[in-house]
Every structure is written in C-alpha cells, then in structure tokens.
Amino acid sequence: MAVDRSSRIEIEVENPVAEVRPKAVMPARRLDTLSGKRIALWWNTKSHGDIALSAAAEAMEQRFKNATFTRFTRQLDQGPAPYDAVRESGCDAVIATTGD
C-alpha cells in the first residue's frame, strides 16, 4: 500500500512546563511565646483538617497559658481565602490546615 506524502502535516511540540520564577518572601517574625496570644485557626474544609486544628489548639491551651483561639473556615472554591479577615481579626499567629 502506497503512502501519499503530498499531504504531510508538520506538528511542533512545545514543552508545557512553566518557567519557575522564585520570589523571595520574608517570613513573619517569630513570636517569643504564644502565652497570652490570640491564635487564628484556619480550616479550608478539607477532610479532617478541623480535627487537626482542634487537637493543636488543645495541646497549645495546655502549654501556653491564656492563649485564645479564633476559628476561620473558608472553602477555596468559595472565593478568595480569608486572609483579610484573619489579618483584621488582630490575631498574633495563624495555624492553617490546607492540604488534602
């Protein structure tokens, strides 16, 4: 069987990997202690993240006297994460569960 080479098509394959452009970010200054601090607990509703946050809060309550906790919940598919709400809450630190 003869192959008709007159209707050849050329295909150019591109590498679909995006170029990584690292951006330096200054980490937040560490607190000397969590005693007496307000701590935000942010759960993005991924499975069992709320349980992990509750366990972390319970452990910290025993270790750091007068620490208080404010809970934030927001699914990532419900719009922007509640960064502004957490920032405006006046909390001194944040613990977040965001993985699967």
Domain boundaries, the chain: 32-100
pLDDT (0 to 100) of residue 3: 63
- Distance CA(44)–CA(96), nearest Å, equals 8
pLDDT (0 to 100) of residue 100: 63
pTM of the model: 0.66
Taking a C-beta distance cutoff of 8 angstroms, is the pair 57, 41 a contact? Answer: yes
Where the chain has pLDDT below 50, the residues are: none
Q: Does domain 32-100 have CATH number 3.40.50.2300?
A: yes
pLDDT (0 to 100) of residue 25: 84
Q: What is the pLDDT of residues 6-28, one digit of tens each?
A: 677 888 888 888 788 888 888 88
